[in-house]
Amino acid sequence: MSTAIQCQTRVEGTKPGALRREGLIPAALYGHKGTESISLTITEKEAHALLKKASVNNTLVDLSIPELSWSGKTLIKEVQSHPWKRTLYHLSFFAVAAHGKLDITVPLRIVGDSIGVKEGGLTEQSVIEIKVKCNPEDILDYINVDISDINIGGSIAVGDIVLPEGVTLDDDPHRTILSVIAPKK
C-alpha cells in the first residue's frame, strides 16, 4: 500500500508550539542526502489523514516538497504525540529509494482453523509481528500464518513462515508464534 503527501519547508527558527497553534505539525525528512535532514511542516488535517492510511515503518509514502522540487518514496519512521490526548507533536520521514533493503516489522495474521482447536484445544499466541528485510516495493501489510495443520501440543515458529520472494527473515527463527494447548480440566 502506498499513499501521497505534500509538505512545506519549515522556516528556520520557528517554534514547534507556534506551528501547532497555526494548525501545522513539525516534521523532518532524513536519508535523502546521506546524514542531511530537512525540517518540514504538514497541516494537522493532512497528518491525521495520512496516519489513518499509513502505519509507522510499514507503508510507503510518496512525499513531495514543492519548494525544493524534491519528491520520493519515504517511510514514516516516528510519530510523536501526546500520550492520551492524541495531539500530534512531530513526524519523521525516511527516504528509502537509494537505501536498498529496509528493516521493517510486519504484523502476523492468523488464518485457518487448527485441528487441535476443533478437538477442544486452545490457541496461545505469543508473537504478533516479525522483523523482515525487503525492498521498498516489496513491503507487506501483513503476513498470513496458516494454522490449519496444528494439533494439540503442536506449535508454529517464526522460521516456519513462508515469506514471499524478495522478503527475508530478520528475526529469531526459533521463536514460537503460536501453540495449541490442551484445555484445562
Tens-level pLDDT at each residue, the chain (185 residues) = 567 888 888 888 889 888 988 999 999 998 776 667 889 999 999 999 998 988 887 788 888 888 888 888 888 889 998 888 888 999 999 888 656 778 888 899 999 988 888 898 899 999 999 999 888 777 888 899 999 999 999 999 999 998 988 889 999 999 999 999 988 77
d(CA 130, CA 155): 16
> Alpha-carbon dihedral of residues 33, 39, 44, 49, nearest 10 degrees?
0
Q: According to the model, what pLDDT value does residue 98 have?
A: 58
Enumerate the CATH 2.40.240.10 domain ranges in the chain, comma separated: 2-95
pLDDT recorded at residue 184: 79
Query: What does the block give as the cell for 130?
Result: 516479525
Residues of the chain with CATH 2.170.120.20: 102-181
CATH class of the domain at 2-95: mainly beta
In CATH terms, the superfamily for domain 102-181 is: Ribosomal protein L25, C-terminal domain (2.170.120.20)
Q: What global pTM score does this model have?
A: 0.66
H/E element, 46: helix 44-53
